[in-house]
């Protein structure tokens, strides 16, 4: 079993396949064997596509040997969150009610990965309908953190983050409606990008106009994220925000900046009145120092007026109320208790509340736009603490430095929700380890449709931080 292949980034793997130094069949076999070996420990897959993946790998190998033109991701295995439609492969949405659902079409993002030669190896775990920041559901149970099974993987894209962090797949597809890519990426020490709204079409969004959710890449390296984004980006008739978006050479762009001289970075530790753990504060301070070492000018920004969670909750939960209330009434014992509870809270919102929240969303967008008139990037901690216990529930108190906080969302990830609402691109990067040995993430935010510049800064930060050689010790507990 050649598991060394599983530790290589997609950029290296595609080069080896293109040179005929590596067979897609050999690569996919190695990845599937690692998935089988680690699944009992990690519980990060709902479905593993053994037969389908090997069939596609053999076809990919034949194309290489015939000298055919190869796509950006030809022969590269990927994992896909089980919220995202995959043609002919079970897509459960993490729900018992969809345990046997098999779509007859791909989501646009998956369609594009397939067109570029990527090979689906499996569907990864998610909270039911992606409705919380933890990855557990009645259908499959809990997905633990890749670094420590006693801690949560975060969510709702925990399975995708763990599959990437553990070397099962070099790249994955996630989704992000309030931080659902960036939260588990930070918990597991990988790269999680939420691109600008519309850059990757969201063909499954029911409310495409008012949408705040994104189909995203997730990977171990910034270069792999850039490669995925290059394959997934571009306009599609299903998504009005994608109109006029053109695919860009994100991989080349990401590697084309020498330093951050002349760049201004606004930064803040926590929104006013919100906590931050001392070890996260220390890691984030070092991250700001790294940006400064790269030539950037850090400028501390005001933390007032960033209590965004009530706006996000009003919009998001109203959408959930419309989508899931009838399901909850018909199947009250089959849905997640936390989803039922969130739907009950959503019943408090009126149409006026919803519209006022959208007025606030517009004001937030303009505020962020004003910040980028003064600076090139924003830097904030992705999360206020490392991954909590595997037993953590959405409605349990959250402990930070010995103090208990009643609400999880505004106290654990206050800095992810704002940029779902504003639409600006945001990427979380591994920036060190907390006192418990778990990863800590720093989030960089860029200008609207400024993915190329954001990925350039992220590449420089990743290189300077020198953390890519750190892997979870899975052999000790597998």
pLDDT tens for 360-375 read: 999 999 999 999 999 9
Is 300 strand, coil or helix? strand
Task: Compute CA 411 distance to the chain's CA centroid, rounded to the nearest angstrom.
Answer: 19
* pLDDT tier at 255, thresholds 50, 70, 90: very high
Residue range 60-69, pLDDT digits in tens:
999 999 999 9
Is 433 strand, coil or helix? strand
* pLDDT tier at 477, thresholds 50, 70, 90: very low
Q: What is the four-CA torsion angle of 136, 386, 191, 111, rounded to 10 degrees?
A: 10
Catalytic, 180? Answer: yes
Residue range 213-234, pLDDT digits in tens:
999 999 999 999 999 999 999 9
Percent of the chain surpassing pLDDT 90: 97
- What pLDDT score does 348 carry? 83
Mean local confidence (pLDDT), 115-142: 97
Q: What is the mean pLDDT of the chain?
A: 97
CATH label, 3-465, candidates 3.90.1300.10, 3.30.70.20, 3.30.930.10, 3.30.70.1350:
3.90.1300.10
Q: Which of 95, 153, 157, 180 is catalytic?
A: 180
Mean local confidence (pLDDT), 449-478: 91
Q: Which of 81, 96, 194, 263 is catalytic?
A: 81
Mean local confidence (pLDDT), 200-213: 97
* pLDDT tier at 476, thresholds 50, 70, 90: low
Catalytic, 285? Answer: no
Catalytic, 156? Answer: yes
Query: Are the beta carbons of 418 and 389 closer than 8 angstroms?
Result: no
The pTM of this model reads: 0.98
Tell me the C-alpha to C-alpha distance, in Å, between residue 140 and each of 10, 44, 120, 134, 168.
29, 9, 20, 13, 19
Q: For the packed helices 158-165 and 24-42, what is the interaxial angle rounded to 10 degrees?
A: 120
Residue range 386-419, pLDDT digits in tens:
999 999 999 999 999 999 999 999 999 999 999 9
Residue 297 has pLDDT above 90, yes or no: yes
User: Sign of the C-alpha dihedral, residues 177, 180, 186, 189?
Assistant: negative
Q: Which of 153, 156, 166, 422 is catalytic?
A: 156
Tell me the C-alpha to C-alpha distance, in Å, between residue 39 and each of 76, 83, 122, 392.
20, 19, 11, 21
């Amino acid at each position: 079993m050649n598991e060394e292949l599983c530790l290589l980034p997609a950029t290296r793997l595609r080069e080896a396949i293109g040179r005929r130094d590596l067979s897609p069949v050999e690569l996919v076999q190695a990845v599937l064997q690692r998935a089988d070996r680690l699944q009992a420990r990690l519980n990060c897959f709902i479905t593993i596509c053994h037969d389908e993946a090997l069939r596609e790998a053999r076809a990919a190998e034949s194309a290489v040997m015939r000298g055919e033109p190869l796509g950006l991701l030809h022969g590269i295995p990927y994992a896909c969150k089980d919220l995202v439609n995959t043609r002919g492969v079970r897509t459960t949405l993490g729900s018992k009610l969809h345990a046997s659902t098999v779509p007859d079409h791909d989501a646009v993002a998956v369609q594009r990965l397939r067109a570029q030669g990527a090979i689906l190896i499996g569907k990864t775990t998610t909270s039911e309908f992606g409705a919380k920041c933890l990855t557990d559901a009645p259908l499959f149970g809990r997905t633990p953190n890749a670094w420590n099974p006693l801690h949560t993987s975060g969510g709702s894209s925990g399975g995708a983050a763990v599959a990437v962090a553990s070397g099962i797949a070099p790249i994955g597809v996630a989704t992000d409606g309030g931080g659902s890519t960036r939260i588990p990426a930070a918990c597991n020490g990988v790269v999680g990008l939420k691109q600008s709204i519309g850059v990757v079409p969201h063909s499954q969004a029911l409310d495409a106009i008012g949408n705040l959710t994104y189909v995203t890449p997730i990977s171990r390296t910034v270069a792999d994220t850039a490669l995925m984004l290059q394959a997934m980006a571009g306009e599609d008739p299903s998504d009005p925000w994608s109109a006029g978006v053109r695919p860009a050479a994100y991989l080349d762009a990401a590697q084309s900046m020498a330093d951050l001289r002349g760049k201004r970075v606004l930064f803040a530790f926590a929104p006013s009145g919100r906590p931050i753990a001392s070890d996260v504060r220390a890691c984030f301070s070092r991250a700001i120092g790294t940006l400064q070492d790269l030539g950037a000018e850090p400028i501390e920004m005001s933390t007032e007026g960033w209590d965004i969670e009530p706006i996000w909750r009003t919009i998001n939960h109203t959408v959930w109320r419309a989508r899931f209330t009838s399901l909850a009434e018909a199947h009250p014992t089959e849905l997640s208790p936390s989803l039922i509870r969130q739907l009950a809270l959503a019943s408090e919102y009126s149409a006026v509340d919803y519209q006022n929240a959208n007025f606030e969303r517009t004001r937030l967008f303009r505020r962020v736009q004003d910040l980028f008139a003064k600076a090139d990037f924003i830097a904030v901690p992705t999360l206020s603490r490392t991954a909590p216990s595997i037993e953590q529930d959405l409605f349990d108190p959250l402990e930070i430095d010995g103090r208990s906080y009643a609400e999880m969302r505004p106290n654990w990830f206050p800095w992810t929700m704002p940029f779902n609402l504003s639409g600006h691109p945001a990427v979380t990067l591994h920036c060190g380890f907390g006192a418990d040995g778990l990863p800590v993430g720093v989030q960089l935010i860029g200008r609207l449709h400024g993915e190329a510049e954001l990925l350039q800064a992220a590449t420089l930060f990743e290189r300077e931080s020198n953390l890519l050689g750190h892997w979870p010790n899975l052999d000790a507990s597998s």
